[in-house]
Amino acid sequence: MNATICFIGAGNMAKSLIGGLLSSGYATSKIIATDPTEAQRQALTQHFGIHSYANNAEAAVLADIIVLAVKPQLLRVVCNELKDALTDKKRLIISVAAGIRSEDINHWLGGAQPIVRTMPNTPALIQTGASGLYANPAVSTDQKSQAEHIMRAAGLAVWVDEEDQLDTVTALSGSGPAYYFLFMEAMEEYAQTLGLDAKTAHLLTMQTALGAAKMVMESHQDCQTLRANVTSPNGTTERAIQHFEAAGLKQTVGGAMQAAYDRAKQLADELGGDA
Ligand SMILES: NC(=O)C1=CN([C@@H]2O[C@H](COP(=O)(O)OP(=O)(O)OC[C@H]3O[C@@H](n4cnc5c(N)ncnc54)[C@H](O)[C@@H]3O)[C@@H](O)[C@H]2O)C=CC1
Ligand SMILES: O=C(O)[C@@H]1CCC=N1
């Protein structure tokens, strides 16, 4: 693939994707980015050696693929700036903005636009991301492969058939890293209550999370079996699990994911449409 890719907005998510592409061997000359902040533009040149622009439309016309990586609240304004520059409708638009429907982006860009909407997550920063992707009907097979190539550079990329499923992806992998961080925070804090110093508690928590994730990925056993292997009859883990179950852990997790899912839909209603 040697398409020119233009990132609109050069914050954390754009930098993760750019970093991933460059480390996978993508040519520096084929990636450009825009940002109104001079410091961000300088950082791009210093870290990645790519060209950067202050003007979105000026940069967008130079590219085959445009990645919209600004905050969701700014997307409408940015699309308005790009609309007149993108009249040929050939370029693929990839949006990483949380909660903005492809239909709204299409409308803001003047219609008939190939759009892939994606929901990445922050581990993309270390090329261990997980992204869900949805393509609108105007996206060609080649453009689908291009979008997948870009998102794969930052980790796992999976397609969903219905755009609604991206709200589930948001509640799962989009917000998910924060769930694990919270759980780790709670473990670390209580280990200190039980007598460990902060550093030891932190190290053991991190390594336990990493070990558990690696076992799930590499052992080819399901979570239930792996859990059973840790749980000796009448032992310590059994007591802890009984406590989680009595406290309704699965219902709590379900309730939290439902709240994230509902908020994703609400955001799309608040930020989208013609209002
Ligand atoms: N942080 C997360 O976990 C996830 C974030 N996202 C999405 O990624 C998108 C970007 O998020 P971050 O990279 O975290 O934000 P960020 O704030 O780090 O980056 C946004 C960048 O856009 C620039 N910008 C502001 N106005 C602009 C304009 N008019 N034209 C061009 N650039 C402009 C800002 O200077 C900034 O550098 C958001 O839409 C967010 O919903 C998606 C999935 C997960
Ligand atoms: O919290 C949010 O709204 C975004 C979407 C997924 C992760 N961060």
pLDDT confidence bin for 272, thresholds 50/70/90: confident
CA–centroid distance, 9 to ligand 1, in Å, is 6
Count, residues in the chain: 275
Q: Is the pTM of this model over 0.95?
A: no
> Distance between CA atoms of 107 and 272, rounded to whole angstroms?
10
Closest approach atom of ligand 2 to CA 98: 5
Q: What is the DSSP string of 80-125?
A: HHHHGGGTT--SEEEE--TT--HHHHHHHTTS---EEEEE--GGGG
Average model confidence (pLDDT) for the chain? 95
For the record, the structure tokens of 158 come out as: 């999976």
**Which ligand 2 atom lies nearest to the CA of residue 174?**
6
Which CATH number fits the domain 176-264, given the four candidates 1.10.357.10, 2.70.70.10, 3.40.50.1460, 1.10.3730.10?
1.10.3730.10
Q: Which atom of ligand 2 is nearest to the CA of 178?
A: 7
Please, where in the chain does CATH 3.40.50.720 lie?
5-161
Measuring from atom 3 of ligand 2, which residue has the nearest CA? Answer: 98
What is the tens place of the pLDDT at every residue in 8-54?
Answer: 999 999 999 999 999 899 999 999 999 999 999 999 999 999 999 99
Residue closest via CA to ligand 2's atom 6 equals 174
Q: Does residue 43 line the site of ligand 1, with CB under 6 A?
A: no
In the chain, CATH 1.10.3730.10 covers: 176-264
- Residue 121's pLDDT band (boundaries 50, 70, 90)? very high
Ligand 1 within 6 A of 74 CB?
A: yes
Nearest CA to ligand 1 atom 24: 9
Distance from Cα 97 to the centre of ligand 1, integer Å? 8
For a ligand 2 pocket test, name from 170, 257, 271 the mutation site with the most ligand atoms within 8 angstroms of its C-beta: 170
Q: Which DSSP string do the residues of 176-194 spell out, in sequence order? A: HHHHHHHHHHHHHHHHHHT
User: For the segment 133-170, what is each residue's pLDDT rounded down to a tens digit?
Assistant: 999 999 999 999 999 999 999 999 999 999 999 999 99
Looking at the CA of residue 81, tell me the nearest atom of ligand 1: 29
205 within ligand 1 shell (Cβ under 6 A): no
Give the pLDDT confidence score for residue 89 in this predicted structure: 84
User: Is 86 in contact with 58 (CB distance < 8 Å)?
Assistant: no
List pLDDT tens digits, range 228-250: 999 999 999 999 999 999 999 99
CB distance 114 to 94 below 8 Å? no
Residue 273 above 80 pLDDT? no
**Residue 25 contacts residue 6 (beta carbons within 8 Å):** no
Q: Is the ipTM of this complex over 0.90?
A: yes
Rounded Cα distance between 100 and 134, Å, is 12
Q: How far is the CA of 205 from the centre of ligand 1 (A)?
A: 30
Which residue lies with its CA nearest to atom 8 of ligand 2?
A: 175
Q: Selecting from 2.30.110.10, 1.10.645.10, 3.40.50.720, 3.40.50.150, what CATH number does the domain 5-161 have? A: 3.40.50.720
